[in-house]
Amino acid sequence: MPVLPLLQSLFAPDAPFTPAVSPMMRYTGPYDFSGSPTLSLPSGFTPDGLPLSLQLVGKPLGEATLCRVGQAFEAADTSPRRRPPHA
């Protein structure tokens, strides 16, 4: 996502689906509907300590290749593995 993580309160079970959340669908929605395999991986933290991630998209039936690429990324990634503080 080309945006920072959203507040957890936006995703509360009783929170409405608002424009603050729906713009994110433009980046993930096409793959939800196309059936393309995807893989999300942690990729570090912002200077404020918020988690960052990246999403890889594979070709149809390309799950095995996608998993190998994800494994290679995780093996090469040197960012710290820590949990962000809870709000």
Count of Cβ atoms closer than 10 Å to residue 10 Cβ:
13
Identify which of 53, 49, 61 has the alpha carbon closest to the alpha carbon of residue 27: 53
Say whether pLDDT at 87 is over 60. Answer: no
- Within 13 Å and on the Cβ side, how many CA atoms surround 57? 11
Max CA separation in the chain (angstroms):
40
Model-wide pTM > 0.85: no
The per-residue pLDDT for range 20-63, each reduced to its tens digit, is 666 677 777 788 788 899 998 988 888 887 778 888 999 999 99
Task: Work out the pLDDT band at 2, boundaries 50, 70, 90.
Answer: low
Amino acid at 12: A
User: What is d(CA 53, CA 44) in angstroms, rounded to the nearest whole number?
Assistant: 7
Cα 43 to its chain centre, rounded Å, is: 9
